[in-house]
Amino acid sequence: MKGRFTSKLEYPALLAGAFLLAMAASWSDLGQRVDNDAYDFLFQRQPAPQGEPQSAVLALDDASLKDMRGVLGLRDAVAESLELLKATGPRAVALDVIFSEPGEPAVDARLEAAIRNLERVVLPCDLMPAGKSWEDPLPRFRAAAAGVGHVHAEPNSVSREILLEKRAARERRWALALEAFRVAENGRILETPSDVEVAGVVIPASLRAQRALWIRYLPPERPVPEITLGELRADPSKARRFAGKTVFVGSTSQLVARDRMQTPYSANSVPMPGVVIHANVYETIARRMFLTTVPLWATVLFAASLVAAAGWVFVRFSGWTAYGLAGVVLALAHLMPWAAFTQGKILSFMPGFACAWLGVSAAASYRYFVVRHRMLKAELERLRYQQAMHFVTHEMRTPLTAIQGSSELIGRYALTDEKRKQIAQLINSESKRLGKMIEIFLSVERLSAGLIEMKREPFSGFDLMQTCVDRVRPLAERKKIGVTLDPNFQAPLEGDRELMEYAFYNLLTNAVKYSPKETEVSVYARRQGGEVRISVQDQGIGMDSKEVKQIFQKFYRTKRAEESGEVGTGIGLSIVEQIVTQHGGRIEVASSPGKGSCFTLVLGGAG
């Protein structure tokens, strides 16, 4: 019963283990990396929808800054850019260069005037390195601008998301692109726990996820339009391309290279300047190209159902059908994130992937190793049972034939009294033998099915042994085998005397059966701890250690026993073992081929 119970739980436990392992793997560093790579892979294959860009970049590149004292001339360059933009009528302008310290008074005045003139300018701010306060633009610039937005990027190697909201020193700032969109639309930012709304655009960025927004970068072949300050200077008519758009002004200079990040497109190639990333965030918002994350519970549920499906497949089906369906489970794990992505939903790749592979491997191995092993074992048992049945029916046929023949004789012929008595005796002894055989055969089944009631009463081990030894003596004498019983045999026992007698008698008959003529069988008892050890030792044919392991199986007989010519069924010891275990004891066997065996019953003892 116990065995069956554990084996019922074994499989679900194995699958649960596979699930937990897969979850742990998913949230490990390696798992996160695989997730990110899968995201980038899908991202590249599902480009953002076509459409007119709503923003543009005015790039301050190295060439534009060359004649302007490099970084020192940046303030001048930005002022000049804003002046040039004024003529084109942009929807809004967002700056990605922070001027937090005063510069030359004349230049600062020029810049302040340019900002004020444009009316719709958003200035950047950033978190100070410690993250506790804001690095803000000079108050004079800020007063002239329409808004301030943060340009903070989380320290990830690839910029996939942006946090729309950041707090420092109790002051909350929205991301530069969001602020630019608010100014461009002349709207207000409304918040709920699950999203942020600006001018009728609902941005899925929940408070719980720190208002993170997936950036839907435009593909490299149709990027956000970009013009350098140098190009604009050379051909002012190019400014027309900025009309009606929100323009992001910032440095793409190699000198400010730290302001470049990897994107899902740029892996292994040139990182993208920060200003272009902000323009892409703006496109994501303005064109509502939102990607939303599938909730954690749904991800876990999906992964768990893959493990369950893998488990079910290998229980319900076998062979190629099972492997084929397992392939479907694996395919689902790979395709679902892709299918979700086409619907704008980000389903983490790793949990499903790890769960499907681990689940399928665990279920398939279990099926292969454990179930197959069990099937083979059951098959072997069936075969042995069949052989035993053959043997038993063969054995039974002999007494049956004798009984049949004898009874016919009595019926058919007039026999002398002497002869009739002889035949009657034969019938009696043969039918007794038959009865005994059937009884033994049935007791195995009944004992193993728990149908035999066991008594619990104290009795003397010595008396019991004495009875058994007396019974076996005639058999032993035929082979001139001496049976000695230790006179100091002290073994008060408790249990079912009748069953115990059966067990001891079996050990004794075996000792006599499997010993050559003129040897000794000795029976003795020892007390050890709270236990009584009763041994039956012979000088018989013995067994090797491999055989010892098998003799308690039903119908097993050693080769040596078969060759000895002694009749047997191989059932006795399996009954003995069951009786002893029902008494809470065990059997120990020490044996060596040709030298003899010692069977020891270890029992609890009484009093």
Question: Can you give the binding site for ligand ADP, defined by CB under 6 A?
Answer: 506, 510-511, 514, 538, 540-543, 551, 557-558, 561, 568-573, 597
Task: Give long-range contacts, CB 8 A cutoff, 24+ apart: 438-446.
Answer: 438/396, 440/569, 440/571, 440/572, 440/575, 441/392, 441/569, 441/571, 443/575, 444/554, 444/571, 444/574, 444/575, 444/578
CB of 390 to ligand ADP, least distance (A): 15
Is the distance from CB of 366 to CB of 14 less than 8 angstroms? yes
Give the separation between CA 542 and CA 269, rounded to whole angstroms.
78
- Give the containing element (helix H, strand E) for 24: helix 2-26
How far apart are CB 437 and ligand ADP at their closest, in Å?
A: 11
Closer to ligand ADP by Cβ: residue 232 or 561: 561
| Nearest distance from C-beta of residue 602 to ligand ADP, angstroms | 17
Phi-psi region of 555 (alpha: psi -120 to 50; beta: other; left: phi over 0): left
Smallest gap, in angstroms, from Cβ of residue 362 to ligand ADP? Answer: 40
Residue 247 bridge partners (DSSP): 56, 93
Residue 114: CB atoms within 10 Å:
22
Closest C-alpha among 180, 205, 179 to residue 193? 205
Instruction: Using the minimum distance from each CB to ligand ADP, give the nearer residue, 128 or 485.
Output: 485
H helices present in 46-188, as ranges: 62-65, 74-86, 105-118, 139-144, 176-185
Please identify, using beta-carbon distances, which residue of 258 and 559 lies nearer to ligand ADP.
Answer: 559
Q: Minimum Å distance from CB 382 to ligand ADP?
A: 19
Cross-strand bridge partners of residue 163: 212
**56 vs 573, which CB is nearer to ligand ADP?**
573
* Least spacing, CB of residue 349 vs ligand ADP, in Å: 59
Name the E strands within 15-82.
55-60
CA-to-CA distance for 504 and 508, rounded, in angstroms?
A: 6
Q: Which is nearer to ligand ADP, 449 or 567 (CB)?
A: 567
Least separation, in Å, of the C-beta of 541 and ligand ADP?
5
Nearer to ligand ADP, 241 or 560 (CB): 560
Whole-number Å distance between alpha carbons of 59 and 159: 20
500 CB contacts (<8 Å, ≥6 apart)? Answer: 459, 464, 493, 579, 583
Rounded Cα distance between 336 and 329, Å, is 11
| Nearer CB in complex with ligand ADP: 23/536 | 536
Residue closer to ligand ADP by CB (options 477, 562) is 562
Nearer to ligand ADP, 406 or 558 (CB): 558
- Helix %, strand %, coil % of the chain (to 5): 55, 20, 30
Q: Please answer whether residues 275 and 57 qualify as being in contact, where contact means their C-beta atoms are separated by less than 8 angstroms.
A: yes
Nearer to ligand ADP, 323 or 391 (CB): 391
Q: Which is nearer to ligand ADP, 213 or 541 (CB)?
A: 541
Torsion angles phi and psi, residue 526, rounded to 5:
-135, 150
Q: Considering the complex, state which of residue 506 and residue 535 has its C-beta at the smaller distance from ligand ADP.
A: 506
CB of 563 to ligand ADP, least distance (A): 10
**What angle (nearest 5°) sits at the alpha carbon of residue 208, between those of residues 205 and 212?**
35
CB of 600 to ligand ADP, least distance (A): 12
Residue 117: closest CA among 151, 148, 80, 150? 80
**How far is the C-alpha of 227 from the C-alpha of 239, rounded, in Å?**
9
81 burial via Cβ count (<10 Å: 0-12, 13-18, 19+): buried
Q: How far is the CB of 514 from ligand ADP (least distance, A)?
A: 4
Closest separation in Å from C-beta 452 to ligand ADP:
18
Q: Which is nearer to ligand ADP, 19 or 514 (CB)?
A: 514
Tokens of 47: 């480009």
Nearest to ligand ADP of 349, 514 (CB atom): 514
- Identify whether the C-beta of residue 122 lies closer than 8 Å to the C-beta of residue 173: no
Tokens describing residue 528: 């050890």
Q: Own/partner pairs for 516-520, CB < 8 Å, 24+ apart?
A: 516/479, 516/540, 516/541, 517/479, 517/480, 517/481, 518/479, 518/480, 518/481, 519/481, 519/482, 519/596, 520/481, 520/482, 520/483, 520/484
Shortest spacing between CB 307 and ligand ADP, in angstroms: 46
How many Cβ atoms sit within 10 Å of the Cβ of residue 484?
12
- Least CB distance to ligand ADP at residue 523 (A): 12
Q: What is the Cα–Cα distance from 69 to 259, expressed in whole angstroms? A: 20
Q: Closer to ligand ADP by CB, 419 or 549: give it.
A: 549
Least Å distance, CB 575 to ligand ADP, is 8
Least gap, CB of 592 to ligand ADP (angstroms): 10
Distance of CA 117 to the CA centre of its chain: 63
Q: Which residues contact 82 (CB under 8 A, 6 or more apart)?
A: 93, 111, 114, 115, 117, 118, 121, 249
Give me the residue whose beta carbon is nearest to ligand ADP: 568
